[in-house]
Amino acid sequence: MDLELKNKIVLVTGATRGIGRTIALEFAKEGANVVVNDITDGTPVAEEIKQMGREAIFLKANIANMQEAEQLADKAVEKFGRIDVWINNAGITRDALIHKMTEENWNDVINVNLKGTFNCCKAAAKYMMEQKYGRIISVSSVVGQRGNIGQANYSASKAGIIGLTKTLALEFARYGDITVNAVAPGFVNTEMMRTIPEKIMQRIVESIPFHRLAEPDEVAHLIVYLASDKAKYITGQIVGINGGYYT
């Protein structure tokens, strides 16, 4: 299927590794030009995309800071003239049971995962409303839908993204062909998951009907589709990709 993403300008936050890196590369494979964002050096990812024959730049920004998120959007438009697709992927964890969770643990996760997503949506709004076109896709999580022990902060941040997505879909629709959706992955085979002790990992895998983790490219394929004009009538949706772990 031709997703007609050639020469689209796509910005991906948290794009230096894991799901974010895979998303950036998948868009490049579909012919898009990519803005790679993270707080760590994303130059290698940008260079990898250039080797695929696409344009790419790395823009460092802490999206938890409103001013930096706005500057990220401004610099992307300065380089490419527009932003067609904005992927809110950046996120962190600071896991602990509630009675052991510090205020700093809570604030750090909410600031990056939820406030950062708000900051980026607001920064993207200015340009997408002007051009009357845009795709915003945020990465929520299955734990934002069903909760998870030891992740009160993370679950709350991802649940907040769900509410934000539904509201912004309604707000943006009046400005033209602008959709706002989120994906809610289950457990994905990334570096973070590989740090989990073997016994706990075994229990997680056994609880998934498909008895395996998702691969990053499976999540990326869904996001790329939602960003395409093939999905232009889909907005305000939270699309689960969890192997049946939550239905």
Query: Which CATH number is 40's domain given?
Result: 3.40.50.720
In a domain, 209, yes or no: no
CA 218/CA 221 separation, integer angstroms: 5
Print the domain residue range for 108: 9-189+216-241
pLDDT at residue 43, rounded to an integer: 97
In a domain, 72, yes or no: yes
H-assigned helices in 40-197: 43-51, 66-80, 103-109, 116-131, 143-146, 152-173
CA 111/CA 121 separation, integer angstroms: 14
Is pTM beyond 0.95? Reply is yes
In a domain, 197, yes or no: no
pLDDT at residue 205, rounded to an integer: 96
Read off the tokens for 88.
Answer: 């809110």
pLDDT at residue 80, rounded to an integer: 98
Cβ-proximal residues to 205 (8 Å cutoff; 6+ apart), any chain: 211, 212, 213
pLDDT, one tens digit per residue, over 7-49 is 999 999 999 999 999 999 999 999 999 999 999 999 999 999 9
Cβ-proximal residues to 42 (8 Å cutoff; 6+ apart), any chain: 15, 16, 36, 58, 60
Would you please indicate which residues are annotated as catalytic (active-site) residues?
154
In a domain, 220, yes or no: yes
What is the DSSP code (8-state) at residue 182?
A: E
- Residue of 205, 184, 185, 201 whose CA lies nearest to 193: 201
In a domain, 223, yes or no: yes
pLDDT at residue 76, rounded to an integer: 98
In a domain, 201, yes or no: no
pLDDT at residue 56, rounded to an integer: 98
pLDDT lower than 70: segments of the chain: none
The gap from C-alpha 187 to its chain's centroid, in whole angstroms, comes to 15
In a domain, 51, yes or no: yes
Number of folded domains that form the chain: 1
In a domain, 208, yes or no: no
